[in-house]
Structure 1
Amino acid sequence: MFALQDALGELRPTAELRWLDLPPAWVVGLVVLPALFALAWFCYRSEPVRPGVRWTLTGLRFAALVAVAAILARPALVRSQEEVLSPEVMVLLDDSASMRRSDAYADDEAARRAIADLGLGPDASRLDVATRLLDRGFTGPLADRGWVVNTLAFDRETRPVDGTEALDARGDATHLGDAITTAVSRYRGRHPVALLVLTDGRSNGGADVLEGARVASIAGLEVHSVVVGDTRPLKNAVLELVEAPASALEGDELSFAVRVQGRGAAIGRRVEVLLEEVTEAGTRELLDSREVELEAAGRRVVLVAPPGPGDAESGERRLELTVPPLEDETLVDDNSASVAVRVSPEKVRVLYVEGYPRWEYRRLALDFLKRAEKDIEFQAWLQESSPGFPQEHGPGSKPLERLPTTREELLDAYDVVILGDVNPYRLFDDPADGEAFAAALVSFVESGGGLMFQAGEQDNPRALLGTPLEDLLPVIVDTSEDLFFELDTTKPFRPVLENASVPHEIVRLHPDPDTNRRLWEDEDGLQGVFWYSGVTRAKTSADVLLRHPNDENRFGRRPLLVAGYYPQGRTLFLALDSTWRWQWQYGPRYFERFWKSAIRWLSLGRLRSGDRRVRLETPRSRYGLDEAVPLEVRLLGPDWRPSEQESVRVEIEDESGEQRSVVLEADPGRPGTFGGEIDLDQPGTYGAWVETEGRRAASVAFEVVLPSKENADPTPDPALLAAAARLSGGTSAVVGSWRDVLAAFDEGRERREPMNSSLEDFWDRWSVLLGILALLATEWLVRKRAELL
């Protein structure tokens, strides 16, 4: 119904009598006809006949003279064909991403009534309103009035479409001026009469809209428009999800970072940001909240959900972050974000290798890890233990009789290895076993395992330099200046946070950032420590979490806690050896929270997916609606070697629960790796997962948002469209008064163009000659009867 129609109109044949040499009508009426009548009367004025006969003869003579005069005026029959071109209206339908927005229309009863009359609900998007206006409001009435409707969709580009069902509002920009000029040039040579623009009017690129309207006006086109959207001054609170965990373990706190922004009249208002858990029954439980003042630049807010189990069926926790709508807020579809976090009930399996029973080992291995039976399976290996001494272990585990030395043993039994103050090559009587252990640790981390280096006064990290394990360290140690630096152990110090406002989950001891900072840095916080291992700096790809408060080198303050990745696994370097001092004053609460957070973070490289042999990843947590989302699966076989499958299926689910799937093909250059992309047509939060043996084995979450240009200012701009209409003699209206625009498309606007014609003279016919002869013969007979011959 919206396809471009043929440029040829309807061909109509016509026949018309024309007088080729006829004088002007006033000459004929005032001169020729009176003269001919006078001549006819003069011929019979003195004849001796009755008056009736005289008038009859006069009339016949007058008719004969008129017939001769008519022949002299050259009557001709003109036969022709003409093309009747119906008036055309070019509909420009906005297909940019801002048309996905839903408006409140809080104070616009006419708009709400018009939308309801179109069969739409209050949550209809701008695109829904625009397409329904075209389908139900304009197309039928325009066709009844003889108009031809041609539809073009536009965003950054302008293109013809066959139907509104082809529109998806994914364009990353709105170039309305370009769309008008493109439509004018596309239909040049036909009979375009008007442009009808259905848009929110917010042009953010390309040619100037008013210049486009001038071009249309010069071409003789009227620009009409219906502005879709709530046209009140912008008042909008925006919540964007910045960071969210895709998966977690039971007992984990869940941290969510959002950016809350104010636009228009909302700037300066104070709002509350809520974190709620949504159950399968639809009930909501408030878990955390923060009050912020809305700013144009946005404020980053972190909310924390306490530990909790996943749903019994899906294994997920469904949470929603919300800013309650402001009074008279114009846009309410960007006030919330939903997140599904997969919760794995598996325990973290920890191997703690230590050289000697220092205080850190005693407090960590004996006081904490052995008691953490709900969350952690624990085994220790103490190098200086006596022969036959049963190694420490947690409930349900057996004491180690030997230290594992192969990759398979580590991957099958552990998720995290804590390497204390040891030299790996002195853990065994046979140096070959030390080499094997170091190689196994490297392969363990490469396959997703977590490895923590806790510094000590004897070996760690010194003994690791020049070995394969040095590559795993997230820090760089310069032997020329760091191994023998002077250390004052007489004064305690407290670490300082690298990012106190948004602390890493490992160093987030308290949900409130200010309280958390005081715990780390203030005198009434955690007990200070005396010793640390001085390292040069963190590696480029690593994240510094804690630094020394005053010890500096040419790279800045020395790092004390550094997190890194290598490449699928996670590593952590702790330059302190007396975290056990943090139990003073506060008891084990913060000491255990720190270690539990560190161990869980290290384990997520393997456990976050639920299956240690499957990993599903996407490079970023947020994508624009105009982007394809890349997905990558790393799949290992039962032997922990790369899978030889040809493809892997990934399931995708949106916030409404609708599911789709994408098949990822194997990457020939990377064994066991599968990659592909998926295009998503709705903004929101999505979950993706891989299933093995009927259960979810790996999962990831990400958000799809409107493109930045389209999201920067989505407020409708009726003034711009009204100005364009005035320039071209058109009409502009809002949703509630769209019928005013329809009324401007009246009937009788077609154009007629002659195609061909032929000329046929009337005088060159026997019938004309016979007619004149008949008149003269009749006059002769009447004269004969009147005995005038």
Structure 2
Amino acid sequence: MTWLLETETVQEGLVLRNAPPTWVIALVIVPCILAFTILFYRIGRQGVPGLVRHGLTFLRIAVLVFVALLLMDPAIQTTVKERKPTLTVVLVDVSASMDHRDDYITNPTLADQLRTSAELPPGTPIETFSRLELVKRILADEDVPFLKKLSDQNRLRLYSFGERLQGIAGLADLEATDRVTTLGRSLERILDEPEVKSSTVGGIVLITDGRNTAGPSPEEVVEVAERRKIPVHCIGVGDPRALKDIELVTVLHSSVVLVRDTVTLDLKVRHRGFPEQQITLQLLENGSVIHRQRVRLKPTEDDQAFRMLYRPMTEGRKRWTVRVQPLPGEHTDDNNSRVIEVLVKDAKIKILYVDSYPRWEYRTLKDFLTRSPETFLAQCLLLEADVGFPQEVTQGQPPLQEFPNTRQQLFYYDVILFGDVDPMSDKFSGGDPDRAHELLGWIKEFVEQGGGFGMIAGDRFSPRAYKDTPLADIIPIVIDPSEPESGGDELGFKCKLTPIGVNHPITRIDDDPKDPERNRRLWEDRNEPDGLKEMHWFSRVKKGKPGAMVLAVHESARNLHGQYPVLVSSTYGEGPVFFTAMDATWRWYWWQGPFSHHRYWGNVVRHLARARLFHGDKRFHLIANRTKYQQGDQITLTAFVKDKTFRPATKDEQEVQLEYPESSGRRETLRLRKIKDGVFEHSFHGTITGDYHAWIQPEDALSDERVSPVSFRVTVSDVERREPILDEPTLKLLSNQTGGTYVTLPKAKDLLSEVATGTVEIPRQRRFLHLRDDKSDWLRWLPVIFLALLSVEWMVRKRFRYL
């Protein structure tokens, strides 16, 4: 029925065919005529009345203008115009955010307007309808749907957009299920449509909440519409006012801990609309709350950090839910919780502690390590001990008489601690430099493959004796013999924690959630009750290596590179390494009791053992490239495998067992192909949502134990539901920049009716009848008009003798 709008009109008008540009007429011709005429009559006879003089000037100007117009070839133009309807393109958003149900608590006026437009009974809860359902109620819920009626009478094209753009016949069958909104890309594709390029477009109408979650931003594309003079009209769907919400942004935690160890959970919480509100942080296991903590939000809406501490008492792979208990008025509690996985192992850390002589640091530390049988299996080796001296070990462990002399014996341990060790000692290398180099090379390999190594500085050997040895590669400090050998301070010095060291697990002596700054004061403040005792000696090292984490520095002593590093941590290969430049933490024990000393060294040992604990097995290590995927993402499993001699495996493939989510009841054996010796890889797509579990089943295993298990989750994308606020600023910008209009959903019909019924006049034919042509009725009058003007002027001049 668009033919109803197609009509023809005929218009006539006078045109100047040979007229120069307007600026030439305005700046050249007109000023010349005026100047000539005024000058001519100014120098004429005096005594003529002013009225006559002005009249003659007007007549002369009229004559000159008439002549100028004749020279410009005046003609009568007849134009035949065809009136056609413009093309209107309507895009309807079908992304998942359009399935959101707004309650409009903060915007009751808009809620009432929606009820009226959707013809809902007064008082009907507006939140019972999703955004897309309201669009359908207003534009499609009639005997003859509004958009269909509009489409029958006008040039209207309907499209849906979300993940992709596609043409549609109506709104009835649309569902808001697309995982992302490609608003910018959809506009780009519409502007490239052949019909849009070849037609006069009256407007593009967007029915959307304005969120663009994938692809180019609409601001990048709208310049094309602006350049082609295509107005973009926007119908905003949803509540434009900020929704009250609390979001648990991140949870940082250790992946593996030991039974009865303290698990530290670092939370980041964001809120809108709940200033200074008390909230409850909860830790749940199997739906039951196992720990809770009350905290208060800041008045501002900035991200806020909280710390939860929990001590698991049973082993196993724990799946915990960290949650902020929802408050009344939150628009959703979908973002209040996060699921984490922690492997709680009832394992004991195997430690080799070596020192040359029985200094006080050795005596206190070896007592702590050997007398904690519930956590550590320690073997100590004092290199200068007499033959037959009973070396200290955890009860039940065999005492050592010399340093392990095979790779298998060395790789048995999880952590190796070196005190002030003489690498040429009889009990270490037998005084053989080549043997010492070989043993230190094994330690380097041990660290590369995930073992932990720590060095406690001494005034004889460590770290200077290791400058040109394999250990120099793994120690996280630069050894420089030009530095003074040691630094002493009779008054003592305190350590100063660096920004990295403030929250590092090694330096966490105190974890009081009510006073998070107390830990720093224990290290730095001399007046803090129970503060750590001052040190009186430290090893001067040049600086930390690039990439190493300097956790603490000397409070005042410095060199050209800054304050001397005292505690330094890093990684080498897969293994963590640690260096301490002080050797008197025994003072903390003797002056303050065991708590601070044991807490500090427990932190050090657990940190160094973390890689081995995480691997779960010294020969097999299985990892996934992420812990959370969206449905359809590619998942990559990588296995690091060693043979029985702890060298990279050379076989062609490695079998891995994969257990799909419980809903599928599926389990299969994956064959990971070799990338290089010891590294195997396999990729697949996660099409089923839920929790996946994978593990290695070694060919020589004596039981069905799952070796190096790894878990990951596949979920539906939640980017559309994370913050479903109507983005009015973006939609208004699109409309204003292109000359369009922005309205809310209740005014959708009015806007669509106005845009869709627009027309355009297209010139089809033009004819010109020149005034000087023989066929022109004006021809015989031109000389008459010209002579009449000249005659009138001559007679007036004659009468007043103005010749």
| Alignment counterpart, residue 303 of structure 2, candidates 286, 298, 316 | 298
Pairwise CA distance, 1:293:
1.0
> Residue 420 of structure 1 aligns with which residue?
419
> Residue 545 of structure 1 aligns with which residue?
551
> Residue 518 of structure 2 aligns with which residue?
515
> Residue 208 of structure 2 aligns with which residue?
199
Structure-to-structure mapping, 1:281-680, within 5 angstroms: 282-299=287-304, 301-309=305-313, 312=316, 315-322=317-324, 324-325=326-327, 328-330=329-331, 332-366=333-367, 368-411=368-411, 413-426=412-425, 427-429=428-430, 431=432, 432-483=434-485, 487-499=487-499, 502-512=502-512, 513-523=516-526, 524=529, 525-617=531-623, 632-643=638-649, 644-646=651-653, 666=673, 668=675, 670-675=676-681
Whole-Å separation in 2 of the counterparts to 1:294 and 1:623? 34
Query: Compared with structure 1, are the counterparts of its residues 707 and 251 closer, same or farther at alpha carbon in structure 2 (3 Å cutoff)?
Result: same
Pairwise CA distance, 1:390:
2.2
Whole-Å separation in 2 of the counterparts to 1:472 and 1:105? 60
> Residue 245 of structure 1 aligns with which residue?
254
Query: Compared with structure 1, are the counterparts of its residues 247 and 383 closer, same or farther at alpha carbon in structure 2 (3 Å cutoff)?
Result: same
Instruction: Report the secondary structure of 1:293's partner residue.
Output: coil
Structure-to-structure mapping, 1:157-306, within 5 angstroms: 159-160=165-166, 168-170=178-180, 174-175=183-184, 178-179=187-188, 182=191, 187-188=196-197, 197-202=206-211, 205-207=217-219, 223=233, 225=235, 227=237, 229-241=238-250, 243-263=252-272, 265=273, 269-272=275-278, 274-280=280-286, 282-299=287-304, 301-306=305-310
> Residue 23 of structure 1 aligns with which residue?
none
Q: Are 2:232 and 2:734, in contact at CA under 8 Å, matched by a contact in 1? A: no
Query: Compared with structure 1, are the counterparts of its residues 137 and 183 closer, same or farther at alpha carbon in structure 2 (3 Å cutoff)?
Result: farther
Whole-Å separation in 2 of the counterparts to 1:646 and 1:468? 32
Instruction: Report the secondary structure of 1:440's partner residue.
Output: helix
Instruction: Report the secondary structure of 1:491's partner residue.
Output: strand
Pairwise CA distance, 1:397:
1.5
Instruction: Report the secondary structure of 2:489's partner residue.
Output: coil
Pairwise CA distance, 1:699:
3.6
Whole-Å separation in 2 of the counterparts to 1:125 and 1:425? 77
| Alignment counterpart, residue 151 of structure 1, candidates 159, 171, 180 | 159
- Spell out, residue by residue over 1:561-598, the C-alpha distance to the aligned partner (whole angstroms, 9 max, x if none): 11111111111001111111112454111111111111
Q: Are 2:381 and 2:391, in contact at CA under 8 Å, matched by a contact in 1? A: yes
Q: Are 2:354 and 2:380, in contact at CA under 8 Å, matched by a contact in 1? A: yes
Whole-Å separation in 2 of the counterparts to 1:518 and 1:176? 54
- Spell out, residue by residue over 1:7-47, the C-alpha distance to the aligned partner (whole angstroms, 9 max, x if none): xx99xxxxxxxxxxxxxxxxxxxxxxxxxxxxxxxxxxxxx
Instruction: Report the secondary structure of 1:492's partner residue.
Output: strand
- The aligned amino acid for 1:520 is W
Query: Compared with structure 1, are the counterparts of its residues 372 and 274 closer, same or farther at alpha carbon in structure 2 (3 Å cutoff)?
Result: farther
Q: Are 1:662 and 1:678, in contact at CA under 8 Å, matched by a contact in 2? A: no
- The aligned amino acid for 1:440 is W
Query: Compared with structure 1, are the counterparts of its residues 166 and 328 closer, same or farther at alpha carbon in structure 2 (3 Å cutoff)?
Result: closer
Whole-Å separation in 1 of the counterparts to 2:247 and 2:346? 35
Whole-Å separation in 1 of the counterparts to 2:545 and 2:508? 22
Query: Compared with structure 1, are the counterparts of its residues 381 and 232 closer, same or farther at alpha carbon in structure 2 (3 Å cutoff)?
Result: same
- How much identity, in percent, do the aligned residues show? 27
Query: Compared with structure 1, are the counterparts of its residues 351 and 166 closer, same or farther at alpha carbon in structure 2 (3 Å cutoff)?
Result: farther
Pairwise CA distance, 1:694:
5.4
Whole-Å separation in 2 of the counterparts to 1:137 and 1:91? 18
Pairwise CA distance, 1:276:
2.4
- Spell out, residue by residue over 1:608-664, the C-alpha distance to the aligned partner (whole angstroms, 9 max, x if none): 232233334578889999997776442333432223353665869999999999979
- The aligned amino acid for 2:587 is R
Instruction: Report the secondary structure of 1:256's partner residue.
Output: strand
Whole-Å separation in 1 of the counterparts to 2:283 and 2:679? 35
> Residue 765 of structure 1 aligns with which residue?
none
Whole-Å separation in 1 of the counterparts to 2:406 and 2:139? 69
- The aligned amino acid for 1:480 is S
Instruction: Report the secondary structure of 2:552's partner residue.
Output: strand
Structure-to-structure mapping, 1:80-95, within 5 angstroms: 90-93=90-93, 95=95
Q: Are 1:546 and 1:561, in contact at CA under 8 Å, matched by a contact in 2? A: yes
Whole-Å separation in 1 of the counterparts to 2:222 and 2:190? 11
Q: Are 1:273 and 1:321, in contact at CA under 8 Å, matched by a contact in 2? A: no
> Residue 20 of structure 2 aligns with which residue?
none
> Residue 764 of structure 1 aligns with which residue?
none
Instruction: Report the secondary structure of 1:417's partner residue.
Output: strand
Q: Are 1:500 and 1:517, in contact at CA under 8 Å, matched by a contact in 2? A: no
Name stretches of at least 5 consecutive residues in structure 2 with no aligned partner: 3-84, 698-703, 760-803
Structure-to-structure mapping, 1:49-68, within 5 angstroms: none
Name stretches of at least 5 consecutive residues in structure 1 with no aligned partner: 1-8, 11-84, 751-789
- Spell out, residue by residue over 1:443-469, the C-alpha distance to the aligned partner (whole angstroms, 9 max, x if none): 111110001101111111111111111
Whole-Å separation in 2 of the counterparts to 1:174 and 1:747? 22
- Spell out, residue by residue over 1:92-141, the C-alpha distance to the aligned partner (whole angstroms, 9 max, x if none): 4365x977988665567969999x99xx9989997x87999999979995
Q: Are 1:247 and 1:342, in contact at CA under 8 Å, matched by a contact in 2? A: yes
Q: Are 1:450 and 1:605, in contact at CA under 8 Å, matched by a contact in 2? A: yes
Whole-Å separation in 2 of the counterparts to 1:377 and 1:477? 31
Pairwise CA distance, 1:345:
1.8
Query: Compared with structure 1, are the counterparts of its residues 237 and 150 closer, same or farther at alpha carbon in structure 2 (3 Å cutoff)?
Result: same
- The aligned amino acid for 1:245 is S
Whole-Å separation in 2 of the counterparts to 1:459 and 1:353? 13
Q: Are 2:501 and 2:550, in contact at CA under 8 Å, matched by a contact in 1? A: no
- Spell out, residue by residue over 1:423-449, the C-alpha distance to the aligned partner (whole angstroms, 9 max, x if none): 223223251442332121111111100
Whole-Å separation in 2 of the counterparts to 1:386 and 1:504? 40
Q: Are 2:88 and 2:755, in contact at CA under 8 Å, matched by a contact in 1? A: no
Q: Are 2:548 and 2:568, in contact at CA under 8 Å, matched by a contact in 1? A: yes
Whole-Å separation in 2 of the counterparts to 1:398 and 1:132? 79
Whole-Å separation in 2 of the counterparts to 1:105 and 1:634? 54
- If the length of structure 1 is used for normalisation, what is the TM-score? 0.67
Q: Are 1:247 and 1:609, in contact at CA under 8 Å, matched by a contact in 2? A: no
Query: Compared with structure 1, are the counterparts of its residues 730 and 442 closer, same or farther at alpha carbon in structure 2 (3 Å cutoff)?
Result: closer
- The aligned amino acid for 1:646 is E
Query: Compared with structure 1, are the counterparts of its residues 174 and 356 closer, same or farther at alpha carbon in structure 2 (3 Å cutoff)?
Result: farther
Whole-Å separation in 2 of the counterparts to 1:699 and 1:160? 41
Whole-Å separation in 2 of the counterparts to 1:386 and 1:477? 31
Q: Are 2:243 and 2:331, in contact at CA under 8 Å, matched by a contact in 1? A: yes
- Spell out, residue by residue over 1:50-95, the C-alpha distance to the aligned partner (whole angstroms, 9 max, x if none): xxxxxxxxxxxxxxxxxxxxxxxxxxxxxxxxxxx99986434365
Whole-Å separation in 2 of the counterparts to 1:403 and 1:387? 14
- Spell out, residue by residue over 1:154-173, the C-alpha distance to the aligned partner (whole angstroms, 9 max, x if none): 57xx64489978964346x7
Whole-Å separation in 1 of the counterparts to 2:366 and 2:249? 42
Whole-Å separation in 1 of the counterparts to 2:185 and 2:344? 47
Pairwise CA distance, 1:341:
1.4
Instruction: Report the secondary structure of 1:448's partner residue.
Output: coil
- The aligned amino acid for 1:240 is V
Instruction: Report the secondary structure of 2:377's partner residue.
Output: strand
Query: Compared with structure 1, are the counterparts of its residues 176 and 593 closer, same or farther at alpha carbon in structure 2 (3 Å cutoff)?
Result: same
